[in-house]
Structure 1
Amino acid sequence: MEYKDRKAMPLFPISIVSELTELSARQIRYYEEKNLVAPLRSEGNRRLFSFYDVDRLIEIKRLIDEGVNLAGIKQVLKLRENQVQENEAKKQSEEESKHYKKDLTDKELHQLLRRELLESGYLNKPSINQGDLSRFYH
């Protein structure tokens, strides 16, 4: 099993997570039942939590301590996930645009345009006066 993000590796049993989050095992299982956290299961069907799961449980505990109910917690977590996804998509888009953004010289631009016109068959149409376009291509 290979993980690009080490924080996503399922490492911690429920006993350790309980100590880290100051939540009881029963509370953790309850939050799992309510789909607020989704630990992976080992071959022996033991729950294994990642760093992300621990962070999420700490956030749930903080929200509960502030008086937010489960429905509110689900909304807060959903909004945060959407923000993370939007930020990742934006970052990926910026990286792609950097990769493709290249200033073309006039010569490269003319070559590209000529190739596209030739491939489309536009230059071979009799209605096009070849002399009109010849000034662009020498």
Structure 2
Amino acid sequence: MDLLERVQRRAMKMTRGLEHLSYEDRMRELGLFSLEKTRLQRHLTAAFQYLTGIYKKAGEGLFTRTWSDRTRGNGFKVKEGRFRSDIGKKFFTVRVVRHWNRLPREVVGAHSLEMSMSRLDGTLSNLV
């Protein structure tokens, strides 16, 4: 847990009327995501923008896309690259691919960024 997460947890403890609730329940009551889920939301949003061509030049070659109707969940899968060292595991594409491939079809198949964001919020809020 990083410093910012510890500060957020401490601030949540000072919220009046919610002292009896756990950290996760306080966040849910206030309609907030943890910092980890907020980071994941931003990464998945950026991945959507790369994959749909909003970031054309910057996103060239970031992901290997595969499309199949035979897979469960969403049919729009992306593949991770291969890296020789552990440093590769910290790259944006590697962090995002695992989560992207588990998203429901309605999130990854959205026609606009706004629609994808609202569906992603709903999906992530179920995980809180």
TM-score bin (small chain) = under 0.3
Higher relative contact order (CA 8 A, sep 6+): 2
TM-score by length of 1: 0.26
